[in-house]
Amino acid sequence: MENSNVLVVAPSVTLSVANLSESRTKLVSGLGKVGELLKGYSMALDQAFDLKDNQGNITTKWYDLKGKLKAGVKAERANFVADMVKAGYIKKGTVDTPSATVDTYWGRVKEESGYVPSGTRASGGNDTDDKNKAELKTMINRIFKAEESGEECESSGIKGLLMDAYEALGGDVDALG
């Protein structure tokens, strides 16, 4: 009898590999869609609730509305929470309290509409250069602190470049450290 090179695979292994392949394919095909869905929902909220003047210019974004003007947004958020809870996004041990996931996605929708969370606002302004300058200052000061404590870090080698960039953006290098 001749030795065969045919590999015999148990049906359970074949099924596992097929499930794995299908799950991976679904994941890969779904990547990027969450951002599109968030953007679509945020645009719908913009259209429904942003206040505009007679020329069509936005005067108040939906997430900044106050008092009675905010009633529609509150109702929509309640609908959003209810749908998320129905989909299983609830705190453990509770029936109707939304989880951090629900709040995170609501926050992401707001950000898609232009909201800037207070924790990410750079002092001195909200434009890209001000944010980059603030982050450079943090990085440079972190390197100074590490060097002062005797820590050796590769970042020390580029500290001068970071300081040049910080200064080019209007930062005061003499005030660092």
Is the pLDDT assigned to residue 157 strictly greater than 80? yes
Selected residue with higher pLDDT from 96 and 81: 81
User: Residue 4's pLDDT is what?
Assistant: 56
User: Which residues are 60's β-sheet partners?
Assistant: 51
- pTM of the model as a whole: 0.53
How sure is the predictor about 96, in pLDDT bands with cuts at 50, 70 and 90? low
Quick: pLDDT tens for 44-72: 999 999 999 999 999 999 999 999 999 99
How sure is the predictor about 14, in pLDDT bands with cuts at 50, 70 and 90? low
User: Which residues are 94's β-sheet partners?
Assistant: none
- Are 138 and 176 within 8 A, CB to CB? no
Closest CA to 62 of 79, 80, 45: 45
